[in-house]
A and B are shown apart, each in its own frame.
Chain A
Amino acid sequence: MKKTITREYLANCIKEELGFSRSESLKLVSLILNNLSNSIKKDKVLKLPNLGTFKIRKKNSRIGRNPKTGEESVITARSVISFNASEKLKSRLNLK
């Protein structure tokens, strides 16, 4: 079955397991995600067991081109997040 896992879905799981209200469960999901986000920003790396590792990588500024108009413009230096899936998750995905 292919359904999308959303905040709503996770909150529902929490609601059923712990008997919280819908809004409480949603708040808890937000709280978890916010703390994960802040931790990535603070530590530059976040490891989640069974899931994988998030890392912040710095990108230098470069000259890019608008593919539609062909115009050149500077792409500013920025940080991006890279994600490496854990071996466990990768092997579980390819069990069949």
Chain B
Amino acid sequence: MCKHYSIIFIESYCMTRSELILLIKKQSSGLDSKEVEIAIELFFNEIVAGLTSGSRVELRGFGSFSIKSRGPRIARNPRTGENVKIGSRLLPFFKAGKELNNLINS
């Protein structure tokens, strides 16, 4: 008997913005695509703008973004072994909210 194996690489799928617009348009009552598009654009822009200006973003049920500061450190270039100074940096962090955590664990 000949066993036939086929290897299929399933690329992880990711929602696009136009799909998001379509979904929301369907679920909302009577909004047109343009309005939904503007709202989503605004939604993301405000979050990014808020984070870049150092604000905390707290979306109940979804999660919160906060900015943490990483102190300066001396790193090493792995290839040359040279010491490189890295100044203090700001990094955004995300913590999932209760409802989102419950959703992915259900």
Contacts and interface: CB of A to CB of B under 8 A. Distances in A.
Interface of A: 1-7, 9-10, 13-14, 17-18, 27-29, 31-33, 35-41, 43-52, 54, 56, 78-81, 83, 85, 89-90, 92-94
Contacts of A81: 63, 94, 96, 100-101, 104
A7 B58 CA distance: 8
Interface in B12-29: 12-15, 17, 20, 23-24, 27-28
Contact of A41 (B44, B57, B58, B103): B103
Contact of B94 (A5, A7, A36, A54): A54
Interface in B79-97: 89-94, 96
Closest 10 CB pairs of A and B: A83-B94, A5-B50, A5-B57, A39-B15, A81-B96, A93-B90, A85-B92, A33-B62, A4-B56, A92-B52
B55 A4 contact: yes
Nearest to A55: B12
Q: Chain B contact residues (Cβ within 8 angstroms of A): what range?
A: 35 or more
Contacts of B92: 52, 83, 85, 89-90, 93
Contacts of B44: 48-51
Contact of B28 (A28, A40, A80): A28
Contact of B17 (A49, A92, A93): A49
Nearest to A28: B39
Contact of B55 (A5, A35, A46): A5
Given A4-B57, A5-B50, A32-B40, A43 B14 contact: yes
Find the residue from B12, B17, B93, B94 having the highest chain A CB count within 10 A.
B94
